[in-house]
Chains A and B, each alone.
Chain A
């Protein structure tokens, strides 16, 4: 079974609107971390936001927020007030275990295109 599932291969959003990128995960660990990365056409993976499995509040970083629903095993990324520069690939990733050196498992990504 896929550990990280991103079901939206591509998404469009109008500039200044909000968009939600879906991510579901599968783990039997009680302690894990969820990450979102942005990958522009230049290729570099840019860290956006982190959510720990024991965090009771949803993580937020500027225009990015993570809608964490533990019972449903989902960790959707919400981007508010989309900008043209948000056009990129977005990857959800999971780290199983508490150790910060544990490896990340990535989903297949969602390509977001922001329309002017």
Chain B
């Protein structure tokens, strides 16, 4: 079974530029999550999708971050314009969402550096 795929793996941009990250979850996983992991911290949830609907985006900075999951499969996270503090690893995860022991499976992440 293929895991969660993310691209690109690394991205360096200057502040005020825009950037987009792509995620393809594990086949059949209805729930998709985007996390931000700043150096030295644990991941923080930015947005959660159930199929193509948003379940939780309470911690997404909506003035600059946006995300979509149009066909209920892959997803794109965009930052526009980027700030220095957006430098972090952006992790995508997915889960089947079928029971209490359901586990989130993570992709390799995209490491963003904003100069």
Residues in chain A within 8 A of chain B (CB atoms): 4, 33, 35, 37, 42-47, 50, 52, 91, 93, 98, 100-101, 103-104, 106-109
Contact = CB atoms under 8 A, between A and B. Distances in A.
A52 B103 CA distance: 12
B103 A50 contact: yes
Range of interface residues on B (Cβ < 8 Å): 20 to 34
Contacts of A37: 106
3 tightest Cβ-Cβ pairs between the two chains A and B:
A106-B42, A100-B102, A45-B106
Interface in B1-53: 31, 33, 40-45, 48, 50
B55 interface: yes
Contacts of B91: 43, 45
A106 B99 contact: no
Nearest to A4: B42
Contacts of B71: none
B100 interface: yes
Contacts of A52: 100-101
A100 B108 contact: no
Contacts of B45: 103-104
